[in-house]
Amino acid sequence: METLLKGMRAVAEPTRLRILMACSRTELTVTDLTQILGQSQPRVSRHLKLLVDARVLDRNREGTWAYYRLSTNGPWNDLTSTLISLIPAHDTVLNNDLERLAAVKRVRAEWATAYFRRNAAQWDRVRSLHVDEAEVERALKAVFVPKKIQNLLDIGTGTGRILEVLGDMVENAVGVDVSHEMLAVARGNLERAGMSNCQVRHGDMYHLPLADQLFDAVTIHLVLHYAEDPAQIIKEAARTLQPGGQMVIVDFAMHSEQELRKEHGHQRLGFGDHEFAIWFKAAGLVSEAPIKLVGTPLTVCLWLASREMVVNK
């Protein structure tokens, strides 16, 4: 009873209800919320603390910033969804909040567009070496089509593209990246795509800020060729995978394009099937047949593995 009352008290206040509405649309910082609500930072911070303590909101630290969004695993998901649906569409205060929220989103989108413009030439050069990205994305979606994915983890999410591709197939998705710039780009892209079920977090792929066995699907898309220790990344990713869950790693087959090492920072010139067989086994996963998308000069492979179901005897 006390737990229920705590949650109800947490949301039963005008400013906190406004925060709830804003954070249901996207993840926001204290600075974002002060602009949207027109209130001081200390006041907003106090309200946020109450909502986090009641597990109505999640707080994810990212460098000197913290991002807030509706809790995805708290006890109040149904309650908060019901409250938000009951807010009158003609409410003047909340409509003004939504207008200012739209302005915050526009700034993020403009920043992301500028970042893409600065780096487009470099990315276009790498894209020209392998099969069309749309073909890779179709193959990735096909892997998951027969399955019902509740929780997806995308490691090294970068621009958030894989979250966009798979977002409409999953209930919830989390993208992790170490680059603050790329996380800003991903947020802008996900907001533009309307992927409210997707979020991004700052984190090191060698030490993920996530508990064991949270996800039933994990993707690592064109990331491992930058890594010094791919085996350790796979082991750490496997730690977050539930029994019966699947891991899909998209990367290049072995090649001899030295330019990618010199000009683009690739640590590895592709991988062989035998390497993944060893790494998956060491991580407690069962290898599946890889999918190969032949290009010139680069072949993109999807290496698949799954965690065995626990059978009670």
Query: Which residues have a Cβ under 8 Å from the Cβ of 270 and sit 6 or more positions away?
Result: 225, 251, 252, 253, 254, 255, 298
Q: How far apart are CA 269 and CA 254, in angstroms?
A: 6
**Does the structural domain 2-102 have CATH classification 3.30.420.40?**
no
Does the pLDDT at position 100 exceed 60? yes
Where in the chain is CATH 3.40.50.150?
A: 129-306
User: Per-residue pLDDT averaged across 248-261, rounded?
Assistant: 89
Average pLDDT rounded to a whole number, residues 235-249: 96
pLDDT for 62: 66
Categorize the per-residue pLDDT at 132 as very low, low, confident or very high, splitting at 50, 70 and 90: confident
- Count how many residues are written for the chain: 313
Tell me which architecture the domain covering 129-306 has in CATH.
Answer: 3-Layer(aba) Sandwich (3.40)
| Mean per-residue pLDDT, 138-146 | 91
What is the per-residue pLDDT across 144-197, written as a single tens digit (0 to 9) for each? Answer: 987 789 999 999 998 899 999 999 999 999 999 988 888 888 888 898 888 989
Band (pLDDT 50/70/90 cuts) for residue 273 is very high
Residues of the chain with CATH 1.10.10.10: 2-102
